[in-house]
């Protein structure tokens, strides 16, 4: 999960407590802020679910232990001063007790959150294929084979190009959405992922995307 050295953290600065920022592991949204003592951090690392220290109740509490909306940890790191924790996690449902996805409901949605929806769509496509529900276009298209899927990508590519020169912006956006969807299905048919494509793009620009390749 990580190589965090708990002994090197500056526990003294906050009287044994460190602020812990929880960030969505996929779209980058800040979900909430809590506090951890060493016991809470150890439990977080061991159990894989975010556990805080409640200052009002003076005890450990695992986020979601009452609601079932756990925060499942993917990585934990410390800042440069070793006095703040950053937790990347996947939320099981809304994070805030008010029922909103984050405790910062009034904050503007970051652009990265919208772009990260492609990962959500990729997962949804995989689930449709696995479940094959009645009436699912995705499942039916996937079952038709890679040649048919590739043909659909070609058709959507032509429609996208035509929309760029003959139609208005909303229609072009719609055709681009159709093309991206069919590209994701095509990748799935070849057991490839969007992350591999992003990794290829990043490598061409000398950048590195963790976990992409």
CATH number at residue 200: 1.10.287.1080
Domain hosting 73: range is: 6-102
Q: What is the CATH number of the domain that holds 95?
A: 3.10.20.810
- List of residues 6+ apart from 113 with CB closer than 8 A: 24, 27, 28, 29
pLDDT of residue 212: 43
Q: Quick one: 22 and 64 in the same domain?
A: yes
User: Has residue 210 been placed in a domain?
Assistant: no
Phi, psi (5° rounding) for residue 73? -80, 135
The CA distance from 75 to 3, in Å, is 9
Residue position matching structure tokens 């995307």: 209
Helix, strand, coil proportions of the chain in percent (round to 5)? Answer: 45, 20, 40
Phi, psi (5° rounding) for residue 45? -70, -35
Per-residue pLDDT of the chain (213 residues; tens, 9 = 90+): 567 899 999 999 999 999 999 999 877 889 999 999 999 999 999 999 999 999 999 999 999 999 999 999 999 999 999 999 999 999 999 999 999 989 987 776 666 667 778 888 998 999 999 999 999 999 999 999 999 999 999 999 999 999 999 989 999 999 999 999 999 999 999 999 998 998 898 898 886 555 443
User: Has residue 131 been placed in a domain?
Assistant: yes
Residue position matching structure tokens 């950048």: 207
Phi, psi (5° rounding) for residue 15? 55, 45
How far lies 46's CA from each of 12, 91, 93, in Å? 23, 17, 22
User: Has residue 88 been placed in a domain?
Assistant: yes
CA 79 to chain centre: 21
- List of residues 6+ apart from 106 with CB closer than 8 A: none
pLDDT of residue 116: 75
Q: Which of 58, 80, 102 is the last residue of a domain?
A: 102
Q: What is the total count of domains within the chain? A: 2
Do residues 188 and 125 lie in contact, with contact meaning Cβ atoms separated by under 8 Å?
yes
Q: Quick one: 147 and 185 in the same domain?
A: yes
Q: What's the predicted TM-score (pTM) here?
A: 0.64
DSSP lists the bridge partners of residue 33 as 21
Q: Are strands 71-78 and 85-91 parallel, antiparallel or unpaired?
A: antiparallel
The CA distance from 125 to 185, in Å, is 7
CA 66 to chain centre: 24
CA dihedral in degrees (157, 161, 167, 172; nearest 10)?
50
Q: Quick one: 133 and 87 in the same domain?
A: no
The CA distance from 106 to 100, in Å, is 10
pLDDT of residue 178: 97
Tokens found for residue 70? 């756990």
């Amino acid at each position: 999960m990580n190589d965090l050295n708990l002994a090197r953290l500056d526990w003294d600065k906050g009287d044994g407590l460190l602020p812990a920022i929880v960030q969505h592991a996929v779209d980058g949204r800040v979900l909430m802020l809590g506090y951890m003592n060493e016991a809470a951090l150890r439990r977080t690392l061991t159990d894989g679910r975010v556990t805080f220290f409640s200052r009002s109740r003076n005890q450990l509490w695992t986020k979601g232990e009452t609601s079932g909306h756990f925060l499942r940890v993917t990585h934990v790191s410390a800042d440069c001063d070793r006095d703040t924790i950053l937790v990347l996690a996947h939320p099981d449902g809304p994070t805030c007790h008010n029922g909103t996805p984050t405790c910062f409901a009034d904050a503007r949605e970051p652009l990265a959150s919208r772009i990260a929806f492609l990962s959500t769509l990729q997962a949804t496509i995989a689930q449709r294929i696995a479940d094959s529900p009645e009436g699912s276009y995705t499942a039916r298209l996937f079952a038709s084979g890679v040649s048919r899927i590739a043909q659909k990508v070609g058709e959507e590519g032509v429609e996208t190009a035509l929309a760029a020169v003959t139609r208005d912006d909303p229609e072009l956006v719609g055709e681009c959405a159709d093309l991206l969807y069919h590209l994701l299905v095509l990748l799935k048919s070849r057991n490839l992922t969007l992350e591999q494509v992003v990794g290829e793009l990043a490598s061409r620009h000398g950048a590195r995307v963790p976990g992409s390749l």
